Chain A
C-alpha cells in the first residue's frame, strides 16, 4: 500500500506565512506572475476518474448478472456484447468488473469520509482544547503510527474474515490518524498565529476563525489526503482479497478477479489484464488528481 504520502504536512507547506520568512527578498524585476501552467495531470486524472465512475455507476445496470454461471461459456473470448469474454465459470467478465469497480470506489469513499470526519473533528478538538485532551489523543495516535495501515486492516479481517464491515472499519481506523495529526498540527499553528491574535482583538468569533482562517488552510490538504486515502483504501481491499483474507467469492472484487483469473493467464490473457488495468487506472487517477500538491 505504497500510497501513503511522504508526510503531507511537510511537503505541502505552501502558506505564504512560512515562505515569506524563509526566502530572501527576490531581486526586483525577476519575480512577477509566473505563467499559469495548465494542470495536465489533474485534467487527465479527472477525466480518468469520471470515466471509471461512470463505468461503476452505469456498468452494473447494463451487465446485471455477475454471479450467474454457465459452464458452456468456459473462457469464451471477447466479443462485441461481452468485451472481456467469460471466465472459467462462464460468468461475464465485464459485469464482474463493473460491480467490482463500483464496490472499490464506493467502499473507498465511505472509508475516507468516515476517517476524515473523525480525524478532522478530533484534530480540531485537540488543537482547540490543548491540555490533557490533546495529550491523550496524541498518545492514542502514537499507537496507530507504529501500526502500518495494512496490519490494522488484517487484524480486523481476522475478526470475521470475508465480511465487508470488518474491512470498512479496518481501513477507516487505519486512515483516521493521518487526518488527526495533520489537522491538529496545522490548526495549532494557525491558532497560535498573529492572525488569530488580531482576530481576537477585533472580537471576531469562532465562526470567523473556522471559515476564514482554518478552513482555507485545511481544505487543500484535506482534498489531497482524501484522494491519496481513497487510493490506499482501494489498494488495501484488493490486496487483502489477493492474499486470501479479504472478501470471499463469489463477490466481484478487483483483487479477487485477479486471483481467480491468474491460473488462466496463458489461455485467456484478457481476463487477467482487465482487472489489473482497471486497478492501475483507478490508482493512477486518484494519485494524479493532486500530484502537484503532494509534490510541493
Chain B
C-alpha cells in the first residue's frame, strides 16, 4: 500500500562530507546499473547471434572454409579441418559457452566472408563511426540549442512558428530520403562536395549534415519547450524581482536548469543517432560500423554482425553513462534519490 506523504522532519543541515558521500553513492549506482546493462546486452546479442548461426542453411564449416579459401577451392577436407579447429562437433551448449567467453574477451573470431579477424576490422569501423557521430552530434546540438533558445525568447513570434514548421518537416523526412536530396542538390547539381566515400576532404560534410539536420529539429523543439517552461517558473520570476537583469537571469538561472533536461535528452538522441548512423553510412559508403553491419547482415556474416551490433550498443551504453553522470553533476536533487 502507498506510503503516506512522507512527513519531512527537518533534515540535518547537510555538511559537506554528507554531500560528497551521497554524490559518490549516486555515481556508484549509475556505474553499476550501466555496467549491468552492458554485460546483459553483450550476453543477449551473443546468444541471439549463436542461435542464428545454428539455424543458417547449409554447413557452417563449409561456409567458413569458403570464406577462407574461396568457394572454388573448398572441399570436404577443408571443411573438416575447420570443423575440428573451431570445435564445431561439440554439443551446442558447449559451443555457446565458448562464444560467450570469446565475446567477453572481445574476440569475435573470423569473418565468414573475408576470413579476416573481426576484431581488427572493428577498430577501423569504430573510429570512422565515432568521427561521424561526434561531428553530427556537435552540429545538431549547437544548431538545435541556438534555434530553440531564440524561439523560446520570441514565443508565438515568427521565428517560433518557422521553427515549428521546420521541426515538423524534418521529423517527417526519413534520413535516407534527406540524404538522397542532399546528394542530388549539393553533389550532383551543384558539385560542391563529393557524394560518397571516405578519406578526402569534404567527404564528411553530407553524411554529417544528413544526421545533424534530423537531430537538430528534435533538439530545437525540446530546447524551446524546456526554456519556455523555465522562463515561466516561480524561481525565474523570483530572480527577476530580486532586480537581476534579463541576461543575468538567463545565464544564472535558465541555462543551468535547461541544461539538466537537455543533457538528459542527449541520452534519448543517441539511440536515434545510432539508427541514423546505420542508414547514413550505407547511403554515403562511409566505412563505419553501420556500413559494416548492413554488409554483414546482407552476407549473413554473423561474427561481423555480432561485433558491430555490440559496438553500437556499447556506444549507446557509454553515452548514456556519461549523460547520467552529467545530470548528477548539474542537478543536485538527483544525487539524493533513494
List residues of A whose CB falls within 8 A of some B CB. 1-4, 6-7, 11, 24, 139, 142-143, 145-151, 154-155, 157-159, 161, 191-194, 196-197, 200, 235, 238-239, 242-245, 255, 258, 262, 265, 276, 279-280, 283-284, 287-288, 291, 295
Q: How many residues from B make CB contacts under 8 Å with A?
A: 58
What's the Cα separation between A197 and B4 when bound, in Å? 10
Q: Are A158 and B297 in contact (CB under 8 A)?
A: yes
A155 to B282, CA, bound (A): 16
A193 cross-chain contacts in B, Cβ below 8 A: 2
B234 interfacial contact with A, CB 8 Å: yes
> Considering the chains assembled together, what is the distance between the CA atoms of A245 and B299 in angstroms?
9
Closest to B37 in A: A142
8 inter-chain pairs at a CB distance below 8 angstroms, sorted by A residue, are A4-B272, A142-B40, A142-B41, A158-B300, A242-B279, A243-B294, A280-B172, A287-B168
Residues of B within 8 A of A (CB): 1-3, 33, 36-38, 40-41, 44-45, 48-49, 52, 55, 168, 171-177, 180, 184, 214-215, 218, 221-222, 225, 234, 265, 268, 271-272, 274-276, 278-279, 282-283, 293-294, 296-298, 300, 302, 305, 309, 312-314, 316-317, 320
> Nearest Cβ in chain B — how far from A260, in angstroms?
14
Q: A151-B313, A262-B180 are in contact. Are A143 and B44 (CB under 8 A)?
A: yes
Nearest neighbor of B177 in chain A, beta-carbon distance: A276
Q: How distant is the Cα of A283 from the Cα of B48 in the complex, in angstroms?
A: 31
Contact flag A155-B294 (CB < 8 Å), given A146-B38, A150-B279, A283-B172: no
Interface of A is mostly: helix
6 residue pairs, one from A and one from B, having the closest CB atoms = A284-B172, A150-B275, A192-B2, A243-B282, A283-B172, A146-B41
Interchain CB contact under 8 A, A158 and B296: yes
Closest chain B CB from A106 CB (angstroms): 19
Cβ of B2 and Cβ of A1 under 8 Å apart?
no
Which chain A residue shows the least CB distance to B211?
A2
Query: A28 vs B203: C-alpha distance in the bound complex, in angstroms?
Result: 60
Given A235-B174, A239-B174, A283-B174, CB of A6 within 8 Å of CB of B37 = no
Kindly report which residue of chain B lies nearest to residue A11, judged by CB atoms.
Answer: B225
Q: Are A244 and B176 in contact (CB under 8 A)?
A: no
Smallest Cβ-Cβ distance to A284: which chain B residue = B172
- CB of A144 to closest CB in B, whole Å: 9
Is the CB–CB distance between B174 and A238 below 8 Å?
yes
Q: Are B52 and A1 in touch, CB under 8 angstroms?
A: no
CB contact under 8 A between A147 and B1, given known A2-B275, A279-B174: no
Contact of B218 among A2, A150, A155, A258 (CB under 8 A): A2
Q: Which among A2, A149, A291 has the greatest number of chain B C-beta atoms within 10 A?
A: A2
B298 touches A245 (CB 8 A): yes
